[in-house]
Amino acid sequence: MKEPFVVASWPSVPVEIVRAAGFRAVFARGASAPTPTADQHLEPGVFPRRLRHLVEHALTGRLSDAARIVIPRTSDTDYKCFLYLREFVRSGVTSALPPVILFDLLQSGGAQIGGYDAARAHALLDALASASGRKPSADDLRQEIVRANGARSAARRLVVFRRIVPRVTGTELFPLLAAFWELEPERYVAAVNGAARAFAKRPALSGPRVLLTGVPVDGPELHQAIESHGAIVVAEIGPWGSGAAGDDVRVDDDPIRAVADKYRADAVGARTPAASLRRWTERMLDDVDAVVVSLPPEDAVFGWDYPALRDMLQARGMPHVCLRSDQDQALTPDEHARLEVMVSAASTLQEARHG
């Protein structure tokens, strides 16, 4: 029998809660395939591809096997997607849709936020538990936290192979990091251990080390494009790559609060406080030679950070490129040419630094 699963639109939905309720989590991702049905309902240039694909699948009956669809409030487009999905059902556009749940995780810094998020995490657990018929205890959730923390620890071991002296490309590593969200923790740890043994035997890679920032990517297409010029992507902002693991979730008397606190602080998305992303980026800059900023057409948020980032990079003498293409489409020849120039400049600086 097929394992029961829920579909989530972004990895700010806690996998620990999903698993404690008895489900496997499947997350929406972008792709270059067309979305003709969704396009009839979603305004162009607003929704990222992952949401267009989620809606396409929803309206063409491909999510009918899911127990629930969970949409987090961690971006405005996700929230709007939730409202649209509800409206499709209400207005009869589709009937083959599982119930849609809003996980109202807030990420600003007010005094009320922690308690609110914990309550919403509790509500999510209750909603999923009622769908599965399982009634998870606090111990059940703590056990899922421990399992996921084991996988986080493994993911952090992977990251070591790309820091300082990289031994693996971003194109190769990104899917391994991203698998944290969907693989069972024990299988994930086994896969990571196998990969780590292989990576340890590899020689160091040459080429300038690149940080990929801007709008978080959910696939390795941009890594491939950047690395085709001889650079190595050694870090990327967002929950799918470098940020997949993050710090462990606390294991304490209030596991729901611990999960809510972790995701509020660590879930990178459009509503993550700018200062938090800025701190992360500054830390990363010490270990890279160049930066690629991806600001695809639907970006309404991360572009605001660009002037400050550009000024910081210029002050450090670090080359960078800003790309405006769709993250799931091929780069333009002009963008490839600019990448080539950036990689060349970074290589020269790298050689100068290393004598």
Can you tell me which of 75, 149, 327, 347 binds other proteins, judged by CB under 8 A? 75
Cα dist from 327 to 2, 30, 117, 197, 293, whole Å: 32, 9, 31, 31, 11
200 binds other proteins (CB under 8 A): no
Cβ closest to other proteins, residue 16 vs residue 298: 298
54: Cβ contacts below 8 Å, ≥ 6 apart: 7, 9, 28, 63, 69, 81
Does residue number 122 form part of the binding site for other proteins (CB under 8 A)?
Answer: no
Which CB sits closer to other proteins, 144 or 266?
Answer: 266
Answer for which of 8, 14, 53, 104 binds other proteins (CB under 8 A) is 104
Q: How far is the CB of 293 from other proteins (least distance, A)?
A: 10
* Range 211-270, binding other proteins (CB under 8 A): 270
DSSP state string for 194-252: HHHHHHHTSPPPPS-EEEEEESPPSSSHHHHHHHTTT-EEEEESSTTTTTTT-SPPP-S
DSSP 67-121: SEEEEESSSHHHHHHHHHHHHHHHTTS-S----EEEE----S--TTHHHHHHHHH
- How many angstroms separate the CA atoms of 224 and 232, rounded? 9
Nearer of residues 129 and 177 to other proteins, judged by Cβ: 129
The verdict on 304 binding other proteins (CB under 8 A) reads yes
Select from 39-47, 132-140, 145-153, 246-254 the region that touches other proteins (CB under 8 A).
Answer: 39-47
Choosing from 5, 24, 31, 41, the residue that interacts with other proteins (CB under 8 A) is 41
Q: What is the nearest approach in angstroms of other proteins to the Cβ of residue 271?
A: 6
Would you tell me which residues interact with other proteins (CB under 8 A)? 40-43, 45-46, 73, 75-77, 79-80, 82-84, 86-87, 90-91, 102, 104, 106, 108-113, 116, 119-120, 123, 270-271, 273-275, 295, 297-301, 303-307, 310, 322, 324
